[in-house]
Chains A and B, each alone.
Chain A
Amino acid sequence: MTSCVQCIEYIMVFVMIAAAVFAVEWKDLLAAVVGMAAVSLVASILFFFLQAPDVAMTEAAIGAAMSAAVFIFAIKRTQRYETEEEERPGWWIRW
């Protein structure tokens, strides 16, 4: 019994990390936002496992739904694809 539950936990955490990596690596920003929402959704399931139903509901409603919606509106008003391949350490490190 316990091993079964633990198995689900491991799978969930793995799915969550995979979604996070995809969200960071995908060039299509819309897909990246969907990945981010998936991270929030899986996290809310994990919150439920950790006996925190209040937080699970809030995370699902605010973290997954509203914040993804706001991101999608922002993408609609800007651009959908990441343009440049070039990657260097961030510009705000510089003065």
Chain B
Amino acid sequence: MSQYAALLIALPLISAFFVPVVKRLSRRAVMPFLVLITAVQTGIAAWVFNEVYTTGKPIIIMAGGFRPPVGINLYIGHFAALFALIIALVSLFMAAFSAKAITVEPKDKYAMLFLLLMLGATGMISTGDIFNLFVFMEITAISAYALTAYNKTGEASEAAMKYIILGGIGSSFFLVGIALIYGSLGTLNLAQIGLLASRMNPAVLQASLAMLVFGLAVEAELFPLNAWAPDAYQAAPHPVTTMFSAFVVKAGLYAMIRIMYLFKDTPAFAGILRLVLILGTLTVVIGELSALRQTNVKRMFAYSSIAQVGFIAVGFALGTQAGVNAAVFHMVNHAIVKALMFLAAGYVAVELGGVSLEDFRGLGRRMPLTAFSITVGAISVIGIPLFNVF
């Protein structure tokens, strides 16, 4: 029965392929179809979540019926189940919001890319195979490129171009890292790599680990490789910005941390931990400093989001159990809060037609509810007690 959790991957995929048919039947049906599918996805994710938390055991999906070192498996543990649920929920809200916010044609293509972005992030957090991780990373990245450029303005194209170039370098390096690991261990399964890690030659291990971290840092927006992020956040359609901040980045970060912790008994681990710590700290400092200078609300939130990701990375890189717990907690909270804030900002932008700080003046009178939610979000980002991000 638990194998039916594979629907988590199969459903978005089959419905993305179904969109052209829906479009032929009726052009207006595409957006309601998108909402329907994300709702069903939320249902499946909730079922998986319930299953994992009541039995207390992780669900392991074996594709093709081969046991883990041989075939590819999806490993849905506690965290992955929770995060799959969050992804599905955020996607559901964003799908509903898209029906209002997306005015640029062709909407059917937008719906397909949207579903596949959700699929990629879900796959990235749950996969148990390092090359499969690469494939899901590429699914996420390529649909993110296309969605960033979706508005077809100059800024959007330029942001997407930056993203593509950095992402291309990153994925090549990631693949080199996989090649080195495969060349010395002969396996691609994450769990087995963890078991055999001490057998690796230290020089090879260090090089491959650095390559893998470098490759994932593009997705996870760590400092030297996050130049794409503010532009992309600003230029992408509003629902897509929310999705980037809420789970695409987190999925990249989580994958990176997972790969790092596989090698925690090897001598190279301390070095790589220090590297991530430094990168995370730089990300926080630079992100926060840049956020202060912005006049565009979406861009400001983008910098704030980068800084928060830096915080999470620092938490993981501390290497203690408390640090990891705090980081996971922060990751979930930040996903929710940032989703709320971007949603509110996007909603204002759709209603009032602009996202500079000027447009937000007098918001409290015109749209009290939205203004309230932005305030709540902002307060919790600052870290006032009672609100969850601190």
Contacts and interface: CB of A to CB of B under 8 A. Distances in A.
Classify A-B as touching or not with yes or no (CB < 8 A).
yes
Contact of A95 (B165, B166, B290): B290
Interface string A32-66: 00000000000000000000000000000000000
Contacts of A95: 227, 230, 286, 290
A92 interface: yes
A76 B286 CA distance: 41
Contact of A94 (B166, B227, B286, B290): B227
Tell me the interface secondary structure of chain A in the complex. Answer: loop
Q: With a 10 A CB-CB cut-off, give which of A90, A92, A93, A94 has the most chain B CB atoms.
A: A92
Interface in B150-197: 162, 165-166
A90 B224 CA distance: 13
Q: With a 10 A CB-CB cut-off, give which of B224, B227, B230, B286 has the most chain A CB atoms.
A: B227
Interface string B280-292: 0000001000100
Interface string A57-95: 000000000000000000000000000000000101111
B165 to A, nearest CB: 6
Tell me the interface secondary structure of chain B in the complex. Answer: helix
B290 A92 contact: no
Contacts of B224: 93
Nearest to B161: A92
Contacts of A94: 227
Contacts of B166: 92
B244 interface: no
A90 B227 CA distance: 11
6 tightest A-B CB contacts, nearest first? A92-B162, A92-B227, A95-B227, A92-B165, A92-B166, A93-B227
Interface of A: 90, 92-95
Given A92-B165, A94-B227, A95-B286, 7 more contacts: A90-B165, A92-B166, A92-B227, A92-B228, A93-B227, A95-B227, A95-B290
